[in-house]
Amino acid sequence: RKEVEQDPGPFNVPEGATVAFNCTYSNSASQSFFWYRQDCRKEPKLLMSVYSSGNEDGRFTAQLNRASQYISLLIRDSKLSDSATYLCVVNPGLYAGNNRKLIWGLGTSLAVNP
């Protein structure tokens, strides 16, 4: 099992749609989780941090399910400007064998169409 897995997509949705992405992680001791957004040929930018049972920021909601080891990102009322790649990132914390790096998913591509 990969350390962090995401459905690569692409997800093609119309404006105004609700879309959800899932991300699974393998290390049950992982401490914190993030969603980043990356536009084409640009740097990743932090979208949301997910520290406990989840959080909401406007149209975006992130959920964490530790028992099943996955996090999700829900985008409501999609806008054209939401078109991007969404990267799931896991902080595995301190454990033997960890060379102190964040674990990055390969990303889920979203295209919002007019």
Partner 1 sequence: NAGVTQTPKFQVLKTGQSMTLQCAQDMNHNSMYWYRQDPGMGLRLIYYSASEGTTDKGEVPNGYNVSRLNKREFSLRLESAAPSQTSVYFCASSEQGMGTSGPNEQFFGPGTRLTVL
Among positions 55-114, residues that touch partner 1 (CB under 8 A) are: 87, 91-94, 98-102, 104-107
Cis peptide before 44 (omega within 30 of 0): no
State the nearest-atom distance from the C-beta of 49 to partner 1, in Å: 6
CB neighbourhood size of 17 (10 A): 15
Residue 77: DSSP 8-state: S
User: Is 3 a residue that touches partner 1 (CB under 8 A)?
Assistant: no
Rg (CA), the chain: 14
Residues that bind partner 1 (CB under 8 A): 31-32, 34, 42-46, 49, 87, 91-94, 98-102, 104-107
